[in-house]
Structure 1
Amino acid sequence: MNMRLNLIFILIFVIMTTLLVRVYFLSIKSNTYYEELSKRNYINRINKVPVRGVIEDRNGKKLAINQMGFSILIKPHLRSSKNKEKLNNAVEFIEKHFPKYEKKKLLKNYKRKDSAYNHDFVKVVDYIPYEDFFPKYTLFASKENIKVESAVKRYYPYKNVASHIIGYVGKASRLDIVKNELSAYSGIIGKSGLEKYYNDILQGEMGYKDIKVNALNEEIEVLEEKKPSSNNNIKISLDIELQKYIQDIFNYKGGAVIVMDSSNGELLAAASFPEFDNNIFARGISVKEWNKMRNDFNHPFTNKLINGLYPPGSIIKMGVALSFLENGVEENYKVNDTGFIKIGNRNFRGWKRGGHGIVDFNKAIRESSDDFFYKGSLRIGINKISKTLDKLGIGRQTGVDQVNEFYGINPNKDWKQKKYNKPWYVGETVITSIGQGNMLTTPMQMARYTAYIANGKLPTPHFYKKNYKEPVALDFKERHLEMMRKGMYEVMYHRKGTASRHIRSKVKLAGKTGTAQVVSIPQSEKIRMKESDLDYYQRSHAWLTTYGPYKNPKYVVTVLVEHGGHGGSAAGGMVSKIFNKLLELGYIKEK
């Protein structure tokens, strides 16, 4: 009996608890929910999209701006047989006044965007320039089923100058909208370069206006309003006139040029060649244009400053020499450069037939002796060289404010074992010591590394001051850096320096040439073939990395000429002109 009573009491308790929970939900929880729905019924929120910020160069010249214009929209739900004639009249009216917008495409665009759940006008034309549309504004504004709205389009006044750095905007994809809610309202988002890296700053913050309306959707009062952000501009370190000058004097198919403040990493110019007009993306690129650029062997889409991977060749030799010195190789170390070293059955040859004779650190940099580095690398091994170069930023991102920067490759024994599951061979050590083999770097890495040798601190390259980071002091001895600087000075001015015949700068410079082979030279070839005799795409890449003034380093200028052959002849004249321009523009006060 007691058991039955207990079961009855438990059942009553469960029922009562369930009822109380239900009452709580209906009276309190549901009230909140339905109150929110009610608010939506009488409060309309109008979102206000901020105007995308302008990108300016260091002198206030506009690099990315917004052009005013208009977009055309058509009333929704006109696809039914009853309203079909209204839809046809609307698109025919648009085609009549703007023949480039064909009726067939307009209808396709409308039908794709229109749905039973959409109650907003459907945008069928994104942008028509102000000067083209304004004379016909009253005609369109008088049409019942057509709506006209103001619109903006991104425009790049300097077209293909600094295109990789500035970047471009494009239509926001579904994935973009998921990651960035504001792009659903603006319809655009930064796709590359600074436009993408600083998209959050440039796009600004949304504004809104909450309006109380009646049952007829008529405005009664404004409840709350927040203006969209207006100070969305960014001013960068680039000097667009210097950038344009560099583009004018770069007479090669492909390559890169960097002008960097050696003390703080600020970038005055940075060009990847060939360049392209960013406006073709802002307005919408055609299939023909896309295929032409995509199939160009010189890779105009690649930002070679950070995504171009190249063997550094001989410009890595200062870093390798510093590794020798910090790992116990004597400062007065000398070798007899005979023009080659034999390891196993292979001869590893230097660039100069017959060699350079007795070579020390200074002469090794000045005349770019390969044998000096072959023999020195065998004393300390690849792992120690790799560790030193790692400190100098080789195989690491520089931190520059550009998207998707590559790391490059700073090879060693562990790297090869992990990547290929193979052991490291002695021959790979000697070839790596002169910047060949598996070593790959970016021009930005090489400019940063040169800045360290010039000033003794490793800066972070940047275009926008908010990305500035304090340069890092490393533990190399100052007298060892001075040895490198002296050798680099003699590269430019000693009669046997590898760039001495090509430097005509008014500013005293220090630098290093490099020739990075694209194809290997067969052992059977006794006399090295001239670069000019090779097919263009088999010629070596030419490097010249420099800083100046020599006594008071201010700027680094690093030049890579794809398939340019020798660094001195390909880039010496260009580097001289750039430093002369820096002097003319007042960036350098002393020679």
Structure 2
Amino acid sequence: MKIKFIIFVFAVVWLALLARVFLLSIESNTYYEKLSYNNTIKTELIAPVRGEIVDVKNRPIAINELGFKIQMAPHLRSKKNQTTFEEEVDTIIKLLPNLDREKIIKNYIKKDSYYNHDYIDIVSFVSYEEIMPVYSILNLRDNIHIVSSPKRYYPYKEVATHSIGYVSRANKSDIEEDKLQELIGYAGKTGIEKYYNSFLQGEAGKREIKVNANNQEIEELSSKQAIEDRKLILNIDIELQKYISSLFKDKSGAVIVMRVDGAILSASSFPEYDPNTFVSGISYEEWDKLSNSLDKPFTNKLIHGLYPPGSTIKTGLGLLYITAPEIGPNWNVYCTASMPLGKRVFRCWKQTGHGKTGIKKAIRESCDDFFYKGSLKLGIEKMSDGLIRYGLGKKTGVDLPNEFIGTVPSREWKRKKYNMPWYMGETVNTSIGQGDFLVTPMQMAQFTALMATSKLPRPYFAKMIGEEVVKPEFEEVLTKNELKKLPIIQKAMYEVCNHPTGTAARNINSHVKIAGKTGTAQVIGILQDIENRELEHEMEYYTRSHAWLTSYGPYDNPQYVVMVIVEHGGHGGSAAGSIVSNIYDKLLELEYIKQ
């Protein structure tokens, strides 16, 4: 029995040994083969060159400035190599004295580790002109690599900065979102640079190389080129953009020039800033100066500026009024400059009132009383539903990142946001674009295009994405009755800019026949017991109303929308009239408008 047990144990041990030999020689072969391959074959990713952005006439707006980065071999800080490390740093500083020695050492220490066998980036960018005289000297040193590394450059500096955006060093969240960012080192942070980042950055190339035990290259096994230099052509005309920037000197606000099909020729948010300061890193002093400015230069007011629309929405609201069974196109009010409602009195802007007023006069002279009384007939739900259908209170779809939606107030909106009931006074406030009503300038430009053409276009900057032509997109949002009655609104908008009593007529002097609507968006409320309102120019600057003037032209053949908002500008006509006129004349000069 003992002999049988010993034989059994002996057999089990041998079977276990045989199984282990099988695993090591057969099953693990693939694993060790792969491990061996990784020890001798190295995969090297090649960073693609970012594509350029050009304007509609192929003028470069965002380009790559030729330059180089400096890399140093790892593990030079060991006791054995410390002297070599110091010598290499000294050599670089001697040849390129403008570089920061302490920063070079700091960058090296940050990436140097026992497990890292790749050359370490110690200087992110040196211009072509600066490095060429010393290139051959540095390149002959075994521990130093000079690698091509273009840097983003914006030749027009602050012009169109909020539309174009900028690139800056990729952070942790950028890399988590897209692993290619770690290789490239930069990412689009704002504007078109961010929206089209994936297209512009391209795709990495790849090299497979055989290396020895010292990580030295022996042979290139395969190579795949990076997909790079993708060009993005915009509808923007940089000459027009520069001209508009000159018109808005020392002012805050936004300007949009858009074809009625949605193509954007110019879009500016003011004040502007130079995006080049962000490519390599902005100083703390400059950051504090810009971020603490009351004019908010970092805010892209085109899509992130939320303003009460004021009287600009009277065109759309007027269309809802004249097509509603409760009101109709022939409805009139008698404006006495005030309308009591409960314990409040709602006043018209004109102290003497407008007298008998129909739809055309109400839009032409911006009679508040007409819209107050009409709102009580139509009701907030029909007002809200109609204005949202016209494009307000939702994204326009413009090719810029993180667009805001604004607010078109309603009972449901207030219940969800505040869990409070709706009051009739809020309906009245909404009818003149005040209260909780908020829109972006981009929404207002789209809304104006709808009033001009009966179609709601999607605003867009890109003309060609590589070889792909971007086509206009429209929504048909008007009912048959609204389409039929729209010419009444268009005629009223023409009278705003051309009739002797039009709110913009005195300040419009363009060679182009235009139609539009002014708006005054209050920044602070007016107390009920104030009988004589303080004039806008007498008020403290940051308490003055924002001034809107949104327009289209030519009136007989709508081709372009020009939307202007001047922050704290007071009245729309006086603050924005000459700016709008000059822009239409510039469009004429540049032969965009055909008359």
TM-score by length of 2: 0.93
Whole-angstrom CA distance in 1 between matches of 2:299 and 2:215: 52
Map of 2:321 onto structure 1: 324
Q: In structure 1, what is the Cα distance between the partners aligned to 2:19 and 2:412?
A: 64
Letter in 2 for 1:50: P
Task: Indicate conservation of the 8 Å contact 1:44/1:211, yes or no.
Answer: yes
Cα distance between partner residues in 2 of 1:126 and 1:453: 51
Matches within 5 A, 1:8-87: 30-87=28-85
C-alpha spacing 1:34/1:356, structure 2 compared with 1 (3 Å): same
The residue number in structure 1 matching 2:425 is 427
2:380 pairs, out of 379, 382, 404, with: 382
Task: Tell whether the 8 Å contact from 1:544 to 1:559 is kept in structure 2 after alignment.
Answer: yes
Q: Given the superposition, is the C-alpha separation of residues 217 and 127 from structure 1 closer, same or farther in structure 2, using an over 3 Å criterion?
A: closer
Partner secondary structure for residue 73 of structure 1: strand
Give the superposition deviation at 1:215.
6.1
Structure 1 partner of 2:348: 350
Q: Does residue 572 in structure 1 map to residue 577 in structure 2?
A: yes
Matched-pair contact (CA < 8 Å) for 2:52–2:229: no
AA partner of residue 107 (structure 1) = I
Tell me how far 1:409 sits from its aligned partner. Answer: 0.5
1:521 maps to which of 526, 530, 553: 526
CA distance in structure 2 between the partners assigned to 1:360 and 1:250 by the alignment: 36
Separation of aligned partners in 1, 2:55 and 2:25:
61
User: Which residue does 1:510 correspond to in 2?
Assistant: 515
**In structure 1, C-alpha distance between the alignment counterparts of 2:142 and 2:420, rounded to whole Å:** 74
Aligned: 1:493 with 2:498: yes
Q: Deviations 1:57-108 (Å, cap 9, x if unpaired)? A: 0100000111111222222122233433322232233333334433223222
For 2:7, the equivalent position in structure 1 comes to none
Deviation at 1:214, TM superposition (A): 5.9
| Equivalent residue letter for 1:53 | G
Number of the residue aligned with 1:307:
304
1:551 partner letter:
D
What is the CA distance between 1:29 and its match in structure 2?
A: 5.6
Structure 1 residues 21 and 410, CA, compared in 2 at 3 Å: closer, same or farther? farther
Match of 1:286 among 283, 286, 294: 283
When the two structures are aligned, how many residues end up with a matched partner?
576
Trace 1:222-237 onto structure 2 (pairs within 5 A).
Answer: 222-237=220-235
Shift of 1:133: 1.4
* 1:2-39 alpha-carbon deviations (Å, 9 max, x no partner): xxxxxxxxxxxxx9999999899767763333332232
Say which is worse superposed, 171-180 or 461-470, in terms of deviation: 461-470
Counterpart CA distance in 1 for 2:18 and 2:290 is: 70
Say what the alpha-carbon RMSD is for the aligned residues.
2.2
Paired residues for 1:395-544 under 5 Å: 395-465=393-463, 468-476=471-479, 477-544=482-549
Asked if 1:546 is matched to 2:551, the reply is yes
Query: 2-side partners of 1:28 and 1:502: how far apart?
Result: 89
Look up the match of 1:186.
Answer: 184
Does 2:102 match 1:104?
Answer: yes
Counterparts of 1:537 and 1:86, CA distance in 2: 61
SS at match of 1:298: coil
For structure 1, the residue ranges without an aligned partner over 5 or more in a row are 1-14
Change (3 A) 1:100 1:24: same
The answer to whether the 8 Å contact 1:252/1:561 transfers is: no
Aligned AA for 2:475? V
Q: SS in structure 2 opposite 1:384?
A: helix
Displacement of 1:467 in angstroms is 5.5
Q: 1:19 to 1:60 in 2, by over 3 A?
A: farther
Q: Secondary structure at the match of 1:358?
A: strand
Deviates more, 1:576-585 or 1:68-77: 68-77
Note the alpha carbon deviations across 1:124-146, whole angstroms, 9 max, x for none. Answer: 11101110111122332243433
Moved more, 318-327 or 581-590: 318-327
Give the aligned residue type for 1:275. Answer: E
Q: Percent identity?
A: 53
Conservation of the 8 A alpha-carbon contact between 2:521 and 2:546: yes
Contact 2:318–2:359 (CA under 8 A) maintained in structure 1: yes
Once the two structures are superposed, residues 464-497 of structure 1 have per-residue CA deviations (whole angstroms, 9 ceiling, x without a partner) of 1466452111233223211110000000010000
* SS of equivalent to 1:189: strand
Q: Give yes or no for the alignment of 1:254 onto 2:252.
A: yes
Q: Deviations over 1:439-480 (max 9, x none)?
A: 000000000000001011000000114664521112332232
Instruction: Note the alpha carbon deviations across 1:303-350, whole angstroms, 9 max, x for none.
Output: 000000000000010111122233322210000011111111111111
Q: Is the 8 A contact 1:452 1:459 kept in 2?
A: yes
TM-score normalized with structure 1 length: 0.93
Instruction: For 1:570 and 1:475, locate their aligned partners in 2 and report how far apart those are by CA, in whole Å.
Output: 32
Change (3 A) 1:358 1:23: farther
Of 225-234 and 396-405, the range deviating more from structure 2: 225-234
CA distance in 2, matches of 1:536, 1:171: 38
Q: Which runs of 5+ in 2 are unaligned?
A: 1-12, 464-468
Q: Which amino acid aligns with 1:425?
A: Y
